[in-house]
Amino acid sequence: MKDVEYEAVKNNGRQGGFRATYFIFAMMFLDNIGFVANMASLVLYFMFKMYFDVGGASTTTTNFLGTAFLLTIVGGFISDTYMTRLNTCLLFGIIQLLGYMLLVIQSHNSELQPQPCGKSSCVRGSKAALFYSSIYLLALGGGGIRGCIPALGADQFDYQNPHQRNHIATFFNWLLLSIVLGATIGVTFVVYASIHLGWDKGFIISMSCSASALIFIALGKPFYRNRIPGDNSPLLRVLQVLVVTLRNWNLRLPQNSDDLYEEKEKRHLPHTNQFRLLDKAAVLLPNGVVSKWRVCGVSQVEEVKILTRMMPILLSTIVMNTCLAQLQTVSVQQGTFMDHRLGNFKVPEASIPVIPLVFMILLIPVYEFAFVPFLRRLTGHPNGITHLQRVGVGLVLSAVSMAVAGAVEVKRKNEFFQHKRVISMFWLSFHYAIFGIADMFTLVGLMEFFYKEAPAGMRSLSTSFSWMSLAIGYYLNSVLVEVINSVTRSRMGNKTGWVEGGNVNQSHVQFFYWFLAVLSVINFVNYVYWARWYKYKEDVPNDEQELLKHDVPSAATPSTVVGGDHSTVSAPFVASNNTNQQE
């Protein structure tokens, strides 16, 4: 990545800080009204409007959500390489609006909808093309937005300033709160509108909120510190290291790491002894030829080592997100066989996820204002506990949630079959609440972990790993459902698998929940091993210093030492105003 070609200027304090993040919070609040409403209700739309059976609706929903979160990698990649994070967000926001438009058209026009056919899926031909185009445009747009927004927000704080650096954790907490607040409105009002006023009305509301979100994020442009994308793709840099390592497989590593090749005039990361095999990419050939595909600098190799160290942590959170997929599909289907009444009001089953959201709305401020200061006094850590400890707490709670979910399903069935009585839908609140707290710990812990530990030029890509864990979890859920059904179908008296058929009363969901609980415990043991093994990245000033570049080229100077409590700024950030005073 280029470093010396960037220029720096002073700014007048309008850029960065929490003031800039208010626009980001507003954007995520509005966008998640529709996005999370769809996460909760699309399984019912697929069942009752597109005529999928229970298994087909569940698998289609998890595949859609898995694709959306997997595509965060695309948003992160583009914003690290080709476009600013803001422009990347606007691009994918427009794509998401196109998806909503197609959903509105198909849900409004009955001629574009399939007829019941008694099969797992009734969508065929041009109707299928319209259907899948709409949901996967929605997935691409929503995923791309989430791939760049967390890094855009965290970029507003100067990592070189210790006081501002500690604000990054607070930012991620408030980012989650804005997401949760929007999600709460989505799974209540928007879901209610979809079910009682028509699916097209619900999609129109979601589309309107998404359009408003784009307006808010654009309005914040004068206040953002925008990182200039690099001239070399982060993924290409990783690929170069892997290819050169293979080419240099037979070369001997020097005894002294100082003899490894390092590029001049580059941000230098210190050499580490982990994954020494990758150091072969930094061995200079005997003929002294230097090219990108023949030798890589130590810092470039260290970037790949950092990403490699983070991978076991990422993989250890996948099982938890498989559990989340069950709560967003099977638990909603369970709710259709429970008492929905809250006084005289009948709660839509797709609004069940509001239970953990309410808990999170209450607990996030408590965590930020009470829990963190208390732990800070005990541990001395600026965030109370480390990122990895926070993730670990979430993994434990997710296992507890699955165990409780199985017990609740046993009670529901006993009441239904033995006493001919349906229990209140709010029995589901127990495991939903526990999982909501788990999600609060894990998601924020992961985003902060990936942002702080990643090399400066790969932060969008790395924060998108948090969402990629969700994606793999959803896909794994689809695979597990198919495998478990195949294995258990012949062993059940009614010849129905644990999660199969059009009626959850005839399936055995409780066994699947307990299976996930056991799997979660095993996964936690695995996570503890990798968390203890992980070595946090050392703070490297030259890696963290960021250049500021002015919108008006004539105002830029080759180097500027900024005033106040900031040190020299020296990496690719764009200040979006025309003045020259540091914040």
Strands 548-550 and 573-575: parallel
Q: How far apart are the first and last CA of the chain?
A: 27
Helix crossing, 54-70 with 459-488: angle to 10°?
Answer: 160
What are the extents of the domains in the chain? 17-230+316-533, 234-305
Percentage of residues in the chain having pLDDT higher than 70 = 86
pLDDT confidence of residue 120: 66
Contact 34, 209 (CB under 8 A): yes
The pTM assigned to this predicted structure is: 0.77
Q: Could you report the per-residue pLDDT of 363-385, keeping only the tens digit for each? A: 889 888 888 888 888 888 887 88
pLDDT of residue 9: 31
Q: Looking at residue 63, what is its pLDDT?
A: 84
190-226 pLDDT, tens digit each: 988 998 899 999 999 999 999 999 999 999 998 888 7
The DSSP code sequence of 555-568 is G-BS-----TT---
Q: What is the pLDDT of residue 1?
A: 39
Q: Any idea which residue has 């509108």 for tokens?
A: 193
Which region among 307-316, 405-414, 551-560 has the lowest average model confidence (pLDDT)? Answer: 551-560
- Spatial strand order in the sheet of 225-227: 225-227, 573-575, 548-550
pLDDT tier at 11, thresholds 50, 70, 90:
very low
Give yes or no for residue 583 having a pLDDT over 50. no
Superfamily of the domain at 17-230+316-533: MFS general substrate transporter like domains (1.20.1250.20)
In the prediction, which pLDDT does 582 show?
32
Question: How confident is the model at residue 570, as a pLDDT?
Answer: 32
Average pLDDT over every residue of 555-576? 34
Residue found by looking up tokens 């990496």 in the block: 571
pLDDT at 20 over 50: yes
User: Rounded to whole angstroms, what are the CA distances from 197 to 154, 204, 300, 353?
Assistant: 39, 11, 55, 20
Burial of 487 (0-12, 13-18, 19+ CB in 10 A): exposed
Q: Which of the four pLDDT bands, split at 50, 70 and 90, describes residue 78? A: confident
Task: With H, G, I as helix, E, B as strand and everything else as coil, classify residue 415.
Answer: helix
Which pLDDT score, from 0 to 100, does residue 40 have?
A: 77
The torsion angle over the Cα atoms of residues 263, 264, 269 and 271, rounded to 10 degrees, is 60
3-class DSSP string for 196-265: HCCHHHHHHHHHHHHHHHHHHHHHCHHHCEEECCCCCCHHHHHHHHHHHHHHCCCCCCCCCHHHCCCCCC
Q: Give the range with max mean pLDDT: 55-69, 97-111, 162-176, 555-569.
A: 97-111
**For all residues of the chain together, what is the average pLDDT?**
81
| Backbone phi, psi, residue 336, to 5° | -70, -15
Identify which of 567, 545, 568 has the alpha carbon closest to the alpha carbon of residue 558.
Answer: 568
Which helix (DSSP H) or strand (DSSP E) does residue 103 occupy?
A: helix 85-108
Summarised one tens digit per residue, pLDDT across range 431-487 is: 888 988 898 899 888 888 888 888 777 777 788 888 888 888 888 887 888 888 888
